[in-house]
Amino acid sequence: MFTLAEATEPQRGWGGPVALLIAVVLFLLFIGVHYAWTTIWFPSPTEEGDTDLGVNSQVSSVSDTGDTDRDTSPWGRIVNRAGRRVRVYDSGRDTELDLDLDGADPEPETLEEAVDRLDRQGVAYAEIVRRVMADHRVSESTAKRAIRTSRQARSTS
C-alpha cells in the first residue's frame, strides 16, 4: 500500500547540456562570421604600415624641451637647478593672495562668542538660532540655551 503512494523520481536527460553546447557553438560561429565580415568590408586604416600618407600627424617628432628662450611669460622664467627645470618668479608675491602659513592660525569662534556677537549686532532671535545650528552643528535647544546664557551674562554686567 505504501508503494503506491511513492512518487517516481523524474529521469534527468541530456537535453540541457546539449542545448547549452549548441548555444555556445552558435555563439562562436556568429563571432567568427562577424569578425570576418568586418575585416573584409571595413578594414582598419592604420594596419597597412606608414600612416603619413593618409592621416594627419598630430604629434611632432621633435621635442622642444631644450627651448627655454621663449619660455618667459607672466608666470616667470624656467631655469635648471640640480638637474630639474624650475619656474622662477621675478615679480614678487601678491600680498592680497599670499597666506602666512608660518603664523598661528586664528582660533575658531566658539559657540558663546558667536551668539554674543550676533546678539550685539541685533540679529533676530530665530536667525541667531539658525546660524548657530548651521555653523556650530548644535541642536536647537543648545543654541537657545547659549542665547539665554549670553543675554543673562550681558544683563548682569
The CA distance from 67 to 88, in Å, is 16
Block residue for cell numbers 570576418: 36
Q: Which residues pair with 37 in a beta bridge?
A: none
Q: What is the pLDDT of residue 57?
A: 60
Model pLDDT for residues 18-34, shown as the tens digit of each residue: 999 999 999 999 999 99
What is the Cβ-side half-sphere exposure of residue 71, based on CA atoms within 13 angstroms? 14
Annotated domain spans of the chain: 111-152
Q: What is the pLDDT of residue 83?
A: 79
Q: What is the pLDDT of residue 28?
A: 97
Residue 42 per-residue DSSP state = S
Entry pTM:
0.35
**Which is higher by pLDDT, 79 or 147?**
147
**Which is higher by pLDDT, 26 or 51?**
26
**Which is higher by pLDDT, 37 or 72?**
37
Neighbours of 123 (CB within 10 A): 15
Average pLDDT over residues 8-17: 80
- As given in the structure block, the three cell numbers for residue 106 are 586664528
